[in-house]
Copies of this chain bind each other. A is one copy, B any other.
Amino acid sequence: MPTRREQQRETTLETIKQVARAQMAHEGTAGLSLRGIARDMEVTAPALYRYYPSRDDLITALILDGFNALADAMIAADAAQPRPAYGERIYAIFCAYRDWALANPVDFQLIYGNPIPGFHAPAEVTVPAVVRGFIPMTEALTEAYAAAVLRPPAHFQHLPHTVDAFLRAFADSNGYPVPPEVFAVMAHAWTMTHGMVVLEMHRHTPSLLGDTTAFFQHQIKALCRELNLTVR
C-alpha cells in the first residue's frame, strides 16, 4: 500500500505532465520548457529533476501517454460498435484516429512528428504502445477476413514477393497470425488516414478541399466498400 509520500510523488509526476501539456497547447510544442513548467508550478526549475531526470525523459513520458491515449480512443470507438458490423468497426476506428489527432494536435505531433529538437523517443519504449493501438483494427480486419466478409481486391493479394515473404515471416514469428493481404489492407488504410490527418493538421488540404471531414469520411467509406464491408 502506498504511503502518503508516494501518493504525493505520483500526483506531482502527473501535475508536471499536465502543466507541460497545457504549455504546449498554448504555445505549440515549442512551449515545452522546464523553466516554464517550474514557473507555472511556483517552484524552481531544478526541483523538477527530482521527478524527471531530464527534459527528454519528461518528453518520453508525454509521448508514451500520447500513444496510449490514441490507442484508448481507437479501442473505445471499436468497442462502441455493435458486433459483428465489421465495416462500422473499421470506419469508427479510423475516424477515432483522425478525431483524436485533430482534438489533440500537440500530442499527435509529439508522437507522430519530430517537433522536439534533437529528440527521438527510444523505440523500446514507444513500440509496445504503438502496437497496442493497432490491436483493434488488426482484430476487426482479421475477424472480418476469417468470416469471409472482408474480401480484399486482387492487388492486396499479389504483393511484391519481398513484402509477402516479410509479412509471412512476421505472422509466423508472432503468436497472432495475420494473413499478409489483411496486413496490407491495414497498412493501406493506416497510410491513407495518417496522410490525410497530417496534411490537414499542417493546413495543406483545407484550402484545397474545403470540407476535409466530409472528404475523409467519404474516403474511408469508399475503401470499406472496396473491401466488401458495408458501412453507414
Contacts and interface: CB of A to CB of B under 8 A. Distances in A.
Interface string A177-215: 000000110011011111110110011110111110011
Contacts of A127: 207
A91 to B, nearest CB: 14
Nearest to A206: B166
A125 interface: no
Interface string A106-145: 0001001111111110010001001000000000000000
Contacts of A60: none
B163 A211 contact: yes
Contacts of A198: 112, 194-195, 198
Given A194-B199, A195-B195, A215 B163 contact: yes
Given A194-B198, A195-B196, A203-B123, A159 B218 contact: yes
A49 to B, nearest CB: 21
Contacts of A163: 209-211, 214-215, 218
Interface string A150-173: 000001000110110111001000
A42 interface: no
Majority DSSP secondary structure for residues of A touching B: helix
Interface string A75-99: 0000000000000000000000000
The 8 closest A-B pairs by CB, nearest first: A195-B195, A166-B210, A30-B117, A30-B118, A160-B214, A162-B211, A155-B222, A191-B195
30 contacts: A28-B118, A29-B114, A30-B119, A112-B202, A113-B115, A115-B117, A116-B117, A130-B204, A155-B218, A155-B225, A159-B215, A159-B218, A162-B211, A162-B214, A163-B209, A163-B210, A163-B211, A163-B218, A166-B210, A170-B208, A184-B215, A187-B209, A187-B215, A188-B219, A190-B195, A192-B195, A193-B195, A194-B199, A195-B195, A198-B198
